[in-house]
Amino acid sequence: MQSMMRPLSFLLGAVLLAMLVGACDMFEPRDRTFDDDPKIEFFPLSDGVDEADLDDSFGATDDTTITTNIQLIGPQRDSDLSINFVVDDSSTAEEGVHYTLPSTSATIDANSSTAEVDVTVLNNSQDDGGTNYELFLTLQDSDGVEAAENLKTYTLTIVGNDEGGN
């Protein structure tokens, strides 16, 4: 029995030693400073609304507002940053029918990192037959700050589940 314990103790000691040596860099301070040109992004990148959720049990219909953020990746600026975005041509949601967008610009205030973008989803009286409509908003490079390539498009999916305005 004791002869079996010796190899097991050796193996356990070797594993613990490897874990201890491998964990040493855990305690070294890391520089987490963003060290690249500043960028802007949407966050979150997507959201969804089911029109059926906008109907209440008494037959009333309400619109709803969905908010996404535009974030500055990098150091905060000491002046406001005006940002423009566009409704992408590939959007299948129609303004005035499925949504309203009060503006296609936003401002990240000085010494801040975010700006909000509101989209109002309309509870229309169309029978959409369960069709999904998508709204794509795409950030434009603004005031020398690039839109991050993989983070510059926001997608809002509107699930058309209402039934003729019930």
Q: In this structure, what token pair is assigned to residue 131?
A: 């069709």
Q: For residue range 21-75, list pLDDT tens digits in order.
A: 666 556 667 776 777 899 999 999 999 998 878 776 555 568 899 999 999 999 9
Q: Token pair 């794509």 is at which residue? A: 136
Q: For residue range 64-117, list pLDDT tens digits in order.
A: 999 999 999 999 999 999 999 999 999 999 999 999 999 999 999 999 999 999
What domains can you pick out in the chain, each with its CATH number? 39-159 (2.60.40.1740)
Contact residues for 34 (Cβ-Cβ < 8 A; gap 6+):
73, 74, 75
CB count within 10 Å of CB 39 equals 19
CB-based contact 132:82 (threshold 8 Å)? no
- Confidence at residue 70, expressed as pLDDT on a 0 to 100 scale: 98
- Confidence at residue 60, expressed as pLDDT on a 0 to 100 scale: 53
- Confidence at residue 145, expressed as pLDDT on a 0 to 100 scale: 96
